[in-house]
Amino acid sequence: MTTYDIIFYLFAAVTLVSAFLVVTNRNIVHAAFYLLFTFFGVAGIYVMLGADFIAIVQLIVYVGGILILLLFGVMLTNKITSVDIKTGTIHLLPASIVLGLFSGALAAIILNTNWTQVETKTAEGTTAALGNLLINEYALIFELLGILLLIAMVGAASLARR
């Protein structure tokens, strides 16, 4: 066990335990708060993989944006208007079939992939390379995504005005 391993297992444990609590918790606000730790753990694992930019973006977009939005929605609907949001178990049979298929596919992929072992090396910053790729190689996709986000924003604004 090196320091790297210890830190990795720490983040993995945070991610898994909190993700389990998210799906099992009956209180929906609690579930939303546990999601914070899941996102945080995933960001940590990105850092361990040397993807520093993705990790920071994960924190900004998911913790700073989506989670806050989710919390606003859940808190406003659950606590203030005192309407209970039920988080029960329904459709057991179809759910277990889909879950079985999905985990079977995941297990098959994990077992059948030729994993290559790479020496651990000090991670280098990826931001400059990523920026170059986005502007030069994938400029069209980048711009299309921008337009897609713009359309979504205009749509959200026009829905909210109604």
Partner 1 sequence: MMYDWLYNLTGSEILAAVIQSLLPLFLFILPFALFAVLLERKVSAHMQDRLGPMRVGYHGILQTVADIIKLVQKEDIIARDNDKLFFNLSPLIVFMGSYAAFAVIPFSSVFLGSNIDLGLIFIVAVTGLVVAGILMGGWASNNKYSLLGAMRSAAQIISYEIPTMMIIIVVIMLTGTLNLYTMSEWQTSYFWNWLIFGGPGFGLAKFILIPFMMMSALILFISTLAEVNPTPFDIPEAESELVSGYHTEYSGMKFAMFFLAEYANMFAVSAILSALFFGGFQSPFGYLGNLFNVPALIPFEQFFWFTAKGIFFVFVQMWLRWTLPRFRVDQLMTFCWKYLIPFAFVILIIVGLITVLL
Site residues (CB under 8 A) for partner 1?
Answer: 3, 29-30, 33, 36, 40, 52-53, 56, 59-60, 63-65, 67-68, 71-72, 75, 79-80, 125, 127
Instruction: Name which of 131 and 155 has its Cβ closer to partner 1.
Output: 131
CA dist 57 and 34 (Å) reads 19
> In the structure encoding, which two tokens stand for residue 74, read together?
């859940």
Is 97 or 143 the residue whose CB approaches partner 1 more closely?
A: 143
Angle at 63 between CA 35 and CA 53, to 5 degrees: 120
Rounded CA-CA distance 33/95 in Å is: 25
Shortest CB 91 distance to partner 1, Å: 30
In the complex, the smallest distance separating the C-beta of residue 39 from partner 1, rounded to whole angstroms, is 9
Closest to partner 1 by CB, 4 vs 138, is 4
45 with 12: CB under 8 angstroms?
yes
